[in-house]
């Protein structure tokens, strides 16, 4: 079983769509093994938005993302499931909301472009972060959760679904 981190960013909480987003994941049978609401401090945000982001998009973009994710409460969730990183990424949609397909979380609830964000010197308000690989998920989960905060459990519907799908 694979784990993945999802962060519902301050704009998702501000918009009041947290329940809708979590509901979409729950409907797939993906299991929640960690969930908490917090306000990120700058150290946690820097631990999440690593130097790798600065190398890919520039230090200014990294700083804007750190400022954005630290601007209000977030909800951090660890999901567990079969190939869950890929499943979640598909459900979330493209990082740039205006490019996200309809039916994805970003495609249905966000519309900001990279161009708009760059012109206004702001982070991209795209509602949600989802780990990009199992290795990235492992590192990101360690930023937001201690091992004691993750709960192992086996819902009966998950066992039935996995047995039928084997």
Q: Which two tokens stand for residue 98?
A: 């205006």
What is the rounded CA–CA span in Å between residue 26 and residue 154? 14
DSSP string, 113-160: -HHHHHHTT-----SEEE-SSHHHHHHHHHHH--GGG------HHHHH
Q: DSSP strand E in the chain: where?
A: 2-8, 31-39, 73-81, 128-130
- The single residue of 23, 48, 129, 153 carrying the catalytic annotation is 129
Is residue 129 part of the annotated active site? The answer reads yes
* Active centre residues (catalytic): 129
């Amino acid at each position: 079983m694979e784990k993945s981190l999802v962060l519902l960013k301050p704009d998702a909480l501000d918009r009041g769509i947290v329940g809708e987003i979590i509901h979409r994941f729950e409907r797939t049978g993906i299991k929640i093994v960690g969930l908490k609401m917090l306000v990120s401090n700058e150290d946690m945000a820097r631990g999440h938005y690593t130097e790798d982001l600065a190398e890919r998009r520039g230090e200014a973009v990294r700083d804007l993302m750190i400022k954005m994710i630290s601007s209000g409460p977030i909800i951090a969730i660890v999901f567990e499931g079969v190939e869950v990183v890929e499943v979640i990424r598909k459900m979330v949609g493209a990082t740039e909301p205006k490019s996200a397909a309809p039916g994805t979380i970003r495609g249905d609830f966000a519309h900001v472009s990279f161009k708009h964000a760059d012109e206004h010197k702001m982070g991209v308000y795209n509602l949600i972060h989802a780990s990009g690989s199992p290795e990235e998920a492992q590192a990101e989960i360690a930023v937001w959760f201690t091992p004691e905060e993750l709960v192992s459990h086996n819902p009966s519907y998950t066992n039935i679904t996995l047995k039928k799908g084997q």
